[in-house]
Structure 1
């Protein structure tokens, strides 16, 4: 390994210090942040105002409200699509809220990669942090 191929030791130490500080903040604030995230509930309403969906922090359905006016246009497919779209919108908003709660200790992009199970993106962020190559 030539001198130009050696990792920047100072950068790696700085990143290790940053990770240690992040870990310490997680230890100190983790339970409080977890409780806040666990309590997240988001309600979204469809553009026509006939469907309201409330989800929890993971996008799990908590409540579904249908305005009785839905029966004026008996289109089951359109209703199903409206419910699904409104639930997706609520789930995305809940995920965003959870990321905002944890942002003081975990960068949003990194947290999102973990939530979405994107191992490649999470690893790329780790490698970028230490200034290395994959």
Structure 2
């Protein structure tokens, strides 16, 4: 007998892929534009048969032909709202980054240059306070 998992894994909360979202928006756009084309055809048919309340029907068809393209474009360019993780990542990317700091040195490791105005035994006017430099000469 197969062991059943303790907990079922649900993927219904998973976000749609960008390709799937784009395809779904394309389908909605084409559907709305098809309804617009149908409004044009229905308007032409209504003009030929002259039903009662013709003006009202033509106004409805004209409104559909004017507002449906606008709504179709808005819906086609719409995307699902960003998740908290996406908003946090965007906020983090927009934060100004601190400038890179220079390396810090302790006072013990810092070497200082001592300037001596009196000439040394070798005739040099500039000497280093570091005794290792004197040994090199």
TM over 0.5: no
**Whose strand proportion is higher, 1 or 2?**
1
Structure with the greater relative contact order (CA < 8 A, sep ≥ 6): 1 or 2?
1
**Whose helix proportion is higher, 1 or 2?**
1
Q: TM-score, normalised by structure 1?
A: 0.31
